[in-house]
Amino acid sequence: MSLRIAEIFGPTIQGEGALIGEPTVFVRAGGCDYRCSWCDSLHAVQSQFRHSWVSMETETVWEKVRHLSEGQPLTVSLSGGNPAIQDFGPLIALGRAEGYRFACETQGSIARPWFSDLDTLVLSPKPPSSGEDVDWDAFAACRKFGADARQQVMKIVIFDEVDYQWARKVHQHYGDLPLFLQPGNPEVDPDTPVDPQALAARLAWLTERAMGDSWFAPRILPQLHVLIWGNKRGV
């Protein structure tokens, strides 16, 4: 079985969400069914970059992961684009047989049976600022297919007040899911330096907004990799 791969890199640390700081090898799939206005991984989304994606057999992808991790079992993160477009079940089976852990982040638009083989399923519905509309029936199907994953969590990116209020309403419906919020990064050009002070200000606003509402359910985190490396690819 072949997979469309935009890049494989690491080990590095997971920069956000439930596994922040955890040593990880990333397998970034090529292709996505969304076109978010602030996407920070356009090289794995837009068709103009298809020439840079590589068709790789599952076994070849796994050999690359093992090489990068020097055969030491760690977490493998399936990202994109939307990795749910493709069948990563055989790759997960190869890795789990050798003691590796698997996480996957998806917007929850396509349900896959292999979700239940994950250690961590991160469902990241996109807020209004993305320009996309969430199919909540598909989201529910993703939850069902991932019912046997070791953990399911939800991550929402917040850019403004509208996103914040939307996240609060979503949490009312999915209060059983551990929730992680992160302020959005408006500068996604890999050649443009990020402004750490601006990122800190966004984080402060989001924190103060939630605390002011006595909304204590979410964990509010920065994009750690952006603070360290900016928008550089492959870290």
Task: Kindly report the three-state secondary structure assignment for every residue of 61-92.
Answer: HHHHHHHHCCCCCCEEEEECCCHHHCCCHHHH
Note the pLDDT of residue 41.
83
Structure confidence at residue 227 (pLDDT) = 82
The residue count of the chain comes to 235
Query: How is 108-144 classified by DSSP, letter by letter?
Result: SSS--GGGGG-SEEEE----GGGT----HHHHHHHHH
User: To 5 degrees, how large is the angle CA 112–CA 43–CA 14?
Assistant: 65
Which residues face 104 on adjacent strands? 78, 121
Helix (H, G, I), strand (E, B) or coil at 8: strand
Q: What is the mean pLDDT of each run of 10 residues along the chain (235 residues)?
A: 93 95 96 91 80 94 98 97 97 98 98 98 97 97 98 97 98 97 81 83 97 98 85 68
The pair of structure tokens assigned to 32 is 């996505």
pLDDT of residue 101: 98
Say whether 222 sits in a helix, a strand or coil: coil
Strand pairing partners for 122? 105, 153
Residue appearing with tokens 């059983």:
176
Q: What residue ranges do the domains of the chain occupy?
A: 2-229
Output the pLDDT for position 60. 98
Find where tokens 């890999």 sit.
190
CATH of domain 2-229: 3.20.20.70
Q: For residue 133, how many other CB atoms are within 10 A of its CB?
A: 9
Which pair of tokens denotes residue 94?
Answer: 């190869």
